[in-house]
Structure 1
Amino acid sequence: MSHLAEVPAHTLTDASPRRAGARVIHRIIQNRAYRSAYQPIVDLSTSTIEGFECLTRFDASGDRSPDTWFLEAAEAGLGDRLEADTIGCAIRALRILPPGLYLSVNASPGAVLTGAILPIFERIDPRRIVLELTEHRPVENYAALNEALGPLRARGLRVAVDDVGAGHADLQHLIHLRPDVVKLDISLTRGLIGSEAIHALISGLVGFAHAIESRVVAEGIETPAQLHALKALGIDAGQGFFLGAPIGVRR
């Protein structure tokens, strides 16, 4: 999953019912009206935590999904700024994270291509970062995206493709980016038990990912039955409330 949000009503008084608008997005950025939470990612072969996904929670309100906040920021011309600021906030946890554990952060290919988020990773050890690419539409220039990611990947940064199996453009992402990590969409985990089709789909994705030397992470594990079935399919790691809820960190 990409970003996580919580929203009470008082900060959207000048927003339309459907859109936050540039003024509200700007205020969120200016006031740093967000914080980070961290959900454990567990190695399924050892049952130990291998890293944490960084999730953004907004101190705003409404029924907007997290992705909607970032989409509206992009439409207001503030998407790169919001992504850079929230990633910068999230990776502060590296200072207290035990050695050997990594942080997984979400970013759009657009923010990579513009260079908006890349300087953040030059100031830290990129070997402790997994960069999850979250956009669900075709990337127009994979060569440019690979070129932008190249120097950081050479220094050890790992790239993940998020929400694989949800449709959209994820198969093209897998083919052209050859990610280090493939993250299966939560819908596959939720629909797995009792579905031969989803079982076959996950099996195929695991086989493909392992063939290109990618590690497979399943999201949304909420029951022992799901965990058992995913382990049997060869999933490398997982996250979800059954394995650990997000840990909130106050500013």
Structure 2
Amino acid sequence: MSRHIIHWYQPIIQLDAGSILGYEALLRNVLNIYVSPQNLFKYAKKAGISLKLDTYSLQLAMKNANSMLNTLFVNVLPSTLLNKNFIRWWDNHINLSAPIVLELSEIEPVANWSDLKYTVSELHRRGVKIAIDDMGTGYSSLRHWCDLNPDFVKLDGYYINDLTKDNRKQRVIKSLLNLFENTADLIAEKIETQDELHVIRDLGVKYAQGYILGKPAPLQYIIKNLKGDDFEK
């Protein structure tokens, strides 16, 4: 499995400054780069190798971490953090060569919230930041995610679709901004049009990610771009 798995990187932009906060490391299969990370995790779960895929992804991301990328965002399943040996594994295998944010997804149910909260607190003690991915679309209550004291909250693309015309979705985003004020920053995902970009900026969202701001690309292309070179065609 591992020889076919790589990361592509997508920028996360700080809107008021127009600068790059960091990059999300997105899993890709070199045999078919168009298979989404979600489908890769679905396959891994079906094959019983979710933990193996997650830990490999974390090690690969840190191995390829580059100071030019600023903060590195890496997806991880809550079930991986709930493994009883995870913190020991982390201490033995992960060397923080760059700032890292672990994105916890709502795509699977959490078996034990108190244990997850403990693991997250241990990661915080080690200088790791936490993001909640896909906020508002998954299994768990908002209260539980708030209890984890995340540093970032990533707003699912559902709330961006038709956002420019949907006042209800705009009110939801305003409510989340108020809820997490002074504790966590919102990141709007899947921003694909200038109109969507203008609306989330006007609402007060600080960070955004999406094709209009930068598409996922291999690491060598990202580094070339950051150095001012042209991408290879």
TM range (shorter): 0.7 to 0.9
Are 2:161 and 1:190 aligned?
yes
Superposition CA RMSD, Å: 2.4
Are 2:67 and 1:97 aligned?
yes
Shift of 1:77: 2.1
For 2:186 and 2:91, locate their aligned partners in 1 and report how far apart those are by CA, in whole Å: 23
Asked whether the equivalents of residues 72 and 98 of structure 2 are also in contact (C-alpha less than 8 Å), the reply is: no
SS in 2 for 1:103: strand
Provide, for residues 109-129 of structure 1, a one-character-per-residue CA deviation record: whole Å limited to 9, x for no partner: 111111566434663228701
Asked whether the equivalents of residues 126 and 156 of structure 1 are also in contact (C-alpha less than 8 Å), the reply is: no
Q: What are structure 2's unaligned runs of at least 5 residues?
A: 221-233
Are 2:41 and 1:70 aligned?
yes
SS in 1 for 2:44: helix
Provide, for residues 158-192 of structure 1, a one-character-per-residue CA deviation record: whole Å limited to 9, x for no partner: 11110113243252442321211100001211221
Structure 1 residues 187 and 149: alpha-carbon distance in aligned structure 2, compared to 1, 3 A threshold: same
TM-score, length-scaled by structure 1: 0.78
Structure 1 residues 161 and 98: alpha-carbon distance in aligned structure 2, compared to 1, 3 A threshold: same
Are 2:185 and 1:215 aligned?
yes
Structure 1 residues 62 and 183: alpha-carbon distance in aligned structure 2, compared to 1, 3 A threshold: closer
For 1:62 and 1:156, locate their aligned partners in 2 and report how far apart those are by CA, in whole Å: 32
2:83 corresponds to which letter in structure 1? T
For 1:39 and 1:133, locate their aligned partners in 2 and report how far apart those are by CA, in whole Å: 17
Asked whether the equivalents of residues 15 and 208 of structure 2 are also in contact (C-alpha less than 8 Å), the reply is: yes
Q: What are structure 1's unaligned runs of at least 5 residues?
A: 1-27
1:52 matched to which residue of 2? 23
Choose 139-148 or 44-53, whichever is displaced more. 139-148
2:126 matched to which residue of 1? 155
1:180 matched to which residue of 2? 151
Q: Percent identity?
A: 31
Structure 1 residues 77 and 206: alpha-carbon distance in aligned structure 2, compared to 1, 3 A threshold: same
TM-score, length-scaled by structure 2: 0.84
1:138 matched to which residue of 2? 109
For 1:66 and 1:79, locate their aligned partners in 2 and report how far apart those are by CA, in whole Å: 12
